[in-house]
Structures are given as structure tokens and as C-alpha cells.
Amino acid sequence: MAISSLSSPSGARVSSVTVKNKVLKTPCFFLPTSRGTVPHLTPDNVEEFDIPALYVGLEDCLDRLEASPILTNEGTIKKWIAAPSVQPTLLAPRRTSPLPSVSAGQSHINIVTASGAKKLTNDLYIKAVLKLCPELVIPLNDTPTSPPGVKRKPKIVERSVNWTTELLLALKATDAFNTTKVFFPVPDLDTQYLTPIFQFFQENQLANNIAGLAFSNNVNPLPADLVGLPRLSIQKFESPLEILKCIQRGIDIIVPDMITQATDAGVALTFSFPPPSKDVLNSKIELGLDMWDERFATDMEPLQSGCVCKTCRRYKRAYVRHLLQARELVAWILLQLHNVYAFTAFFQGIRASIQEGNFDEDVRKFEEIYMTSFPASHGFGPRKRGYQMDLTNVQPVENKPAWISMKSPLEKEIANEYEALKVTERKEDTQDYNEPELHNSNDPTVDLYADTYATQAATESDSELEDALFSQLDEFDDTAYREQRLEMLKKEFARVEAAKEKGHMQFLTVENEREVMDFTLSSKKVVIHFYHPDFIRCKIIDSHLEKIAKVHWETKFIRIEAANAPFLVVKLGLKVLPAVLCYVNSQLVDKIIGFADLGNKDDFETSLLEFRLLKSSAIDRLKEESSSNKSIYHDELQNNQSDDSDFFE
């Protein structure tokens, strides 16, 4: 599958590669799919286009990992996506524009499926490749969605080499070795980190079966023996100019999302390559037309002048706009038919320009003539489902349910009682802690002795504490006042004791996301620390939270390793650790990310973090360091407080 090419001075090259029985002329594009289908197009429409190959992200179809239908049903990937038998397919672990995910492990990466975050192991991925039999495959690779740290960079390279080797060995043991070609995933790292990859190609005999290179972003300088391999880019492109610049750097195959993104936005692509002559008015030309715009309401021109696609031959701009306004799905089908055709013509022009030796000059003219971005859309795209989708600017839910409940009043009452019973059982199963509702006395005496009771030593008995309390109460001559205080203190002591039995006053480590969610539902106040075991600042936060947890019996303090909570990390948008989240009544009330809000230094005092938790209502009040030595009288309590304290309620 090596390339023999005619190249331009900048590095753009035209060539051809053979995939199975089909010859692909490059530069070309592979059309991305969504859950195995080309958005807005039926298989017969796809067959009409001469699309070089279809890109399939496996995470789209792994809702239940090894139990997913794509792996349990019979047939190859062609049957799953209903693609023509001659249509090449490229299988990759993730989508072309994946959602952010947490770090990978030695044998897995984290993917985001329609049913939540999952761990995709290399063994399962190899099993999928052998079962689906795609013509092209990108091995499992650790491609972070944010810049990796220094420690992770060597691990990324090591995983790429190891996982690719395991895939090649598995293919070699089957008949798929000659039918499935592998594109090696080259990490987006400095050349100094890529030495193990270059050694792999020089020393490992399996490297002879590598058919091409896949880049997630920049094209790194390559050794002479790798220059001839086809190069594929799966980076995100915002404009056709970015694609042209990428081809100038030597990329042969592009996987662009912008075709479907433009269609979803109601934009008809109108750019061409080589570009037309410069406008006499010296104004830049639009890259596309926003078909929601009112100026097309009575426009009887085709979407693009001179275009011979099925849409432009039969329909006018006014009709397409009318369909969009009516929220008719045919509108997006017609736009997608045109946009795929426009992109096919765009790459035909690129290849012709390189062959004629004018590519670099044509790119300069394109940049000079066309606008740098697509027009802003004035309407909503079609409805989408699943939090793995980008749900901005899409159609809201408008239709009411087509059914209503036909239950009688008695049936409804029975159903409600049954639901209440299930809720009670769930609470008992998870040992929910429901704090008793107490009358708020606003009395520091109750707070002070409750704190003392909560933090007393294990060797100190309850009776000793009560005796100390009674001796001070005896000094006060108001019998009614004394009895009122005793009753309030007994209730507060009971509340503290219940909290202790439910694991409060400890800094617990939980192992999975289910426990985290159970705690946020069962305790009124919860503080959660998402940590990484190797991060120094996470250990600093742990030391402070452990101190705070021992004196704040009213709040549950837990921590979980971020790698064990991929779903929560993605849903909560956690990109920096340590991350401390505060929940009150199961509602997120505060996020403390890193040390930016704690003075941005490692030696901050525990009281600073405690005060932040107080302001977010995650704790009830600031606790005194030696509450057992304080008087129960309000005046004495105030006099004993430090005059230098910066904290107040």
C-alpha cells in the first residue's frame, strides 16, 4: 500500500492506493459515520457517490461492550452498516470528534458510548476487528483530549507500540491478515518521544504489514523509510482552508466532520477548488449559504450555480428553505446530498491542481478570495439523542406524548403506594441516612457540646461528658431554662450518634461511581474529592479534608480516584485535579478545582478550606480547636473567641 506520488514544493502529493479491489486516488476523504450510518443518507444514496471509504468509530456501537449487538449478531461490518460490498470501511476505536475522557490504563482506554462511559480493552477491540473484518483499521491508541503531562507521554508511545503489535499478531493468526490493513496511530508528541515507534518499524518484522500512518493532529518529521506510507489525519477541521494547509504538510487522507456539521446547521457548501477569479468589488466570497436566511425565501436559483448534484438539478433554494422552516427532514437529506457532492468535487480539484503544479498558488488564492469561516446559522439543526452528541443548536422537543394514562383512581393509588415501597426498600438497601429534623435554637451551647460530644476520645464515656454539662447547668438557677437546654442537647447527641453510626467523621475512600451517587442521595451534606494517587496536591487536599472530617459530624466526606469514575468526570467536566465537589440535598453547590481558590499555594491552612466549605453550606459552622474547654454560657463563648480571627458567620 506504499505511495508513489507526484508532489508539490510544499509537500502536497497526488497518488493512488489500493484497498482490497478498489483504487483510491489521493488526496481524498473518508466520510465519517454516526452509529454506523452516514447522517441523513440512506445506503442507496451513499452508493451513488464515489466515496473512497467510510469511517466507523467503534465506541458509537459499544453500548454494552462485549454484549453489544454489533458483536453478538452475525455478519461483518458491511452487514452492520448496510454498506455496498465494494465500499471500503475504516474501523477506529473512537469517533472523529470524541468527547473528553479520563486517562487510559495499561490495557484499556476510556470511551463514551450512548449509555455512558466504558472501558474498552485491547482484547475486546481485537475481538471486534476479527469479527467485523474491516478493510482498514486503526489500532487501539491512547490519544488524550487534552495535552498530556510529561509522565504520560512515554506511556502513550509504549501503548501504541504494544497494542499495535498485539493486533498484528492476532491478525497474523487468522485469514484476516491479508484482507485487513493496519494504519499505525502516531501520537501528537515531539519527535524525541517517537524514537520507540521508529525502532519498531526498523526492528520488528510485523512492521512490514503496516499499511499507513494515522495522525491525530500535527504531522511529525518522519524517517526516510516511512515517507512513502499513506498518511491519514483524523484531526478536527473548522474550514476547508485548514484541510488545504494539512494537505500541504503531506497528508493524503482526510476524515472531515464539517460536511455533516454544515448540513445540520442548514448550510449549503458553495466553495470550490481551484478558486474562481477574484471579485471585482474586492469582497470575499462565502464558503456556504445559510439556507435559513430570509433572502432565500423566493430565490429560484439552485443551491450552487453550475452544480450538477441531484439536489441542484431538481430543487431551488426557496424550496429547501421552506422545508427547513417546516422542520421537514427531507431538507437535511437534500443538503447532505449536495454537500457530499461538493466535497467530492473539492478533492477532485485538489488532485488536478497538484498534478498541474499550481497547488501552492491555488491555496494562496483560496485564502485570499474566500472567507475564513462558515456563515452563522439562523435556525436549529435536526433533533439528536444521547449525551455523546453535541446538542447545541438542535431542535427542541415539541410534540406531546401520544398516549395518556388510562388507570383508574384506585389503580393510581396502588401504583403510588408500590412506588413508595420501592423507594423505601432502596433506602434500606443502601443504608440511607436521613437526618432528623431539629428545631434550630440558634444557641451556641447546643452547638458547642454537640461538637465536644462528637470529638470526644474513645476512652471518655458519655456519662462523664454529661456530668460536666450538668455541673455547669447547676450553676444556672433557672429550672425551665435548664430543662430546655437538656432536651435540646439530648436531641443533638442523638443526631451525632446516628451520624457516627453511618460513617460520618471519617474520610472514606470509595471504589466506584455507584457508591458516590448513593452517598449524595443518602446524606444531606457530602464533600467529594476526585483525586489521582500520584498527584502531590491531591495528597495535600486529603490531609486537610481528613482533619475537617473528624470535627464536622454533620457532613459526609469521601474521595474517589478519578480513573474509577470516568462517567462522573465527563459529566461534571473535571479536567484538573484535585477537584473537590460539595453537595447539599443532592444538589451540586460548589466546585473547588485545583488550588486557585485556596491562595494558589501548597502550604495553605486548613481553616481556609474549611471557610470555603462553610460559604458553600457544605458544613454548618466553623469548629473551635478545643471546644471541650469552652463555657456553655453564650457570653463566655464570645469572650473566648480569638480577636484575630478572620472568619465569621
pLDDT at 65: 87
Would you give the end-to-end CA distance of the chain in angstroms?
72
pLDDT at 600: 83
Check: CB of residue 347 under 8 Å from CB of residue 29. yes
Residue bearing cell 406524548: 401
Check: CB of residue 300 under 8 Å from CB of residue 314. no
Mean per-residue pLDDT over the chain, rounded: 79
Neighbours of 198 (CB within 10 A): 14
Residues 6+ apart with CB under 8 A from 647: 607, 611, 614, 622
Say whether pLDDT at 453 is over 70.
Answer: no
Say whether pLDDT at 529 is over 90.
Answer: yes
Q: Which three cell numbers stand for residue 154?
A: 512515554
Q: Which of 24-38, 49-63, 209-223, 291-305 has the lowest mean pLDDT?
A: 209-223
Residue 16 exposed, middle or buried by CB count within 10 Å (0-12, 13-18, 19+): middle
In whole angstroms, what is the distance from residue 353 CA to residue 10 CA?
Answer: 13
In whole angstroms, what is the distance from residue 89 CA to residue 133 CA?
Answer: 9
Q: Which three cell numbers stand for residue 44?
A: 442507496
- Per-residue pLDDT tens over the stretch 239-296: 999 999 999 999 999 999 999 999 999 999 999 999 987 765 567 899 999 999 999 9
Angle between helices 240-248 and 359-369 (to 10 degrees): 160
Say whether pLDDT at 134 is over 70.
Answer: yes
Average pLDDT over residues 624-647: 36
Q: Which three cell numbers stand for residue 472?
A: 455547669
pLDDT at 481: 54
Say whether pLDDT at 643 is over 50.
Answer: no
Where b means 16+ CB within 10 Å and e means fewer, 548-566 reads bbebbbbbbbbbbbbbbbb
Say whether pLDDT at 394 is over 60.
Answer: no
In whole angstroms, what is the distance from residue 129 CA to residue 122 CA?
Answer: 10
For 196, phi then psi, to 5°, come to: -60, -30
Higher pLDDT residue, 18 or 114?
A: 18
In whole angstroms, what is the distance from residue 538 CA to residue 558 CA?
Answer: 13
Check: CB of residue 617 under 8 Å from CB of residue 583. no
What is the pLDDT confidence band of residue 352, given thresholds at 50, 70 and 90? very high
Residue bearing cell 502550604: 603
In whole angstroms, what is the distance from residue 71 CA to residue 80 CA?
Answer: 10
pLDDT at 276: 87
In whole angstroms, what is the distance from residue 2 CA to residue 225 CA?
Answer: 11
Say whether pLDDT at 483 is over 80.
Answer: no
- Per-residue pLDDT tens over the stretch 169-196: 999 998 888 889 999 999 988 888 888 8
Check: CB of residue 181 under 8 Å from CB of residue 137. yes
Q: Which three cell numbers stand for residue 172?
A: 497474523
Phi/psi-derived region of residue 29, left when phi > 0, alpha when psi is between -120 and 50, beta in every other case: beta
pLDDT at 121: 94
Residues 6+ apart with CB under 8 A from 571: 387
- Per-residue pLDDT tens over the stretch 195-246: 888 888 888 888 888 989 999 887 778 888 888 899 999 988 999 999 999 9
pLDDT at 381: 73
- In 3-state terms the chain splits into helix, strand, coil percentages (rounded to 5) of 45, 15, 40
What is the pLDDT confidence band of residue 137, given thresholds at 50, 70 and 90? very high
In whole angstroms, what is the distance from residue 131 CA to residue 232 CA?
Answer: 24
Check: CB of residue 499 under 8 Å from CB of residue 453. no
Q: Which of 51-55, 68-72, 109-113, 641-645 has the lowest mean pLDDT?
A: 641-645
What DSSP designation does 439 have? -
- Per-residue pLDDT tens over the stretch 290-325: 999 999 999 999 999 999 999 999 999 999 999 999
Say whether pLDDT at 630 is over 90.
Answer: no
Q: Which amino acid is at 360?
A: D
Highest mean pLDDT among 417-421, 475-479, 613-617: 613-617
Highest mean pLDDT among 47-56, 140-149, 312-321, 552-561: 312-321
Q: Which amino acid is at 251?
A: I
Biggest CA-to-CA distance, the chain: 106
What is the pLDDT confidence band of residue 358, given thresholds at 50, 70 and 90? very high
In whole angstroms, what is the distance from residue 257 CA to residue 374 CA?
Answer: 14
For 636, phi then psi, to 5°, come to: -65, -35
Nearest to 291 by CA among 312, 306, 274, 308: 312
pLDDT at 308: 93
What is the pLDDT confidence band of residue 491, given thresholds at 50, 70 and 90? low
Secondary structure of residue 528 in the 3-state scheme = strand
Percentage of the chain exceeding pLDDT 70: 74
pLDDT at 144: 83
Check: CB of residue 348 under 8 Å from CB of residue 332. no
Where b means 16+ CB within 10 Å and e means fewer, 405-431 reads eeeeeeeeeeeeeeeeeeeeeeeeeee
Q: Which three cell numbers stand for residue 386?
A: 444521547
Check: CB of residue 120 under 8 Å from CB of residue 105. no
